[in-house]
Amino acid sequence: MTAEEVLKKIKLIELKSKRRLNSSFLGEYNSLFKGVGMTFSELRPYQFGDDVRKIDWNKTAHFHEPLVKIFEEEREMTSILLIDVSGSMNFGTRKQFKNETAAEISAILAFSAIKNNDKVGLILFSDKIEAFIPPKKGNAQVIHIIKTILDIKSINKSANLNLCIDFLLKTIKRKASIFLISDFDIGDYEKKLCILSKKHQVTGIRIYDRVELNFPDIGWAHLKDLETGDLKWVNTSNKSIREQYSKEYKKLLLQTKNVFTKCGSGFINIATDQDYIKELFNYFKERH
């Protein structure tokens, strides 16, 4: 896209996101993320029903009356968007490409974080880290994130999620809410994902195009691997080829969901032509 097209797309995504962020959605988003810990607030006299473990015995001895420590939850969170920008994300046959859906979902999540007075950051990855925006607050941060996503040119590379997780663990020390957006055609990453999930709250958002579920019968087709650039002729009229493709793809879907479940992380499937606001809302509500 040209600079003018990028700015136009940013404006459209911004308007669309703000228009669809209603109080119900923000309420569910807020309820999902409970904060990262407890901070000391004040001392007050012991009251019937208080947990005796909260009594500050030093202060109690000093003031000659039982005093308890009151703690408040740390509400401010940090959200990190991890987005796969490898070649397979540059595909779509319905409403839009997978990477465009990823950009819109990222905008919704980023604006939700800002509305919740949280920080939001971005990591774009393929077989390396393509871009990193440290977490900050404010609408300008969201616009910067959207522009960075849209500015990334089509990358004919595979995705290395393990490398991305290593980078995140070294960079983001405090507990954060991680949204990992990809089509998850990215090899073995279970071990690293489980390590990440122990430290952070992780949600996988898998973007797919419906034609990937059931390959259409269009005769002989010259297909290109978007990650390697390899070309290959395939007879899509061959029923056994289509069935084998569908079987392998659905197997990959199940494996991906099982990996996230095993690691204690959340997971959502979203099609490029699907109402992603509804899917996100239902997910937040269910997790809460």
- Which of the residue ranges 32-36, 189-193, 237-241, 284-288 would you say has the lowest mean pLDDT? 32-36
The pTM of this model reads 0.77
- pLDDT tens profile 5-39: 656 777 777 777 767 777 677 777 776 665 445 55
Other Cβ atoms closer than 10 A to 42: 10
CA atoms within 13 A on the CB side of 246: 14
Instruction: Tell me what pLDDT residue 226 has.
Output: 56
Kind and range of the H or E run holding 241: helix 239-262
CA atoms within 13 A on the CB side of 133: 24
Amino acid at 255: Q
66-to-47, 55, 57, 61, 70 alpha-carbon distances in Å = 9, 7, 7, 8, 13
- pLDDT tens profile 191-225: 999 999 999 999 999 999 888 777 776 777 766 66
Count Cβ atoms within 10 A of the Cβ of residue 111 and give its class: 0-12 exposed, 13-18 middle, 19 or more buried: buried
Which pLDDT band, with edges at 50, 70 and 90, does 260 fall under?
very high
Instruction: Tell me what pLDDT residue 41 has.
Output: 63
| Domains assigned to the chain | 3-32+75-287 (3.40.50.410), 38-73 (no CATH)
Query: If DSSP codes are grouped into helix, strand and coil, which group holds residue 277?
Result: helix
Instruction: Tell me what pLDDT residue 122 has.
Output: 97
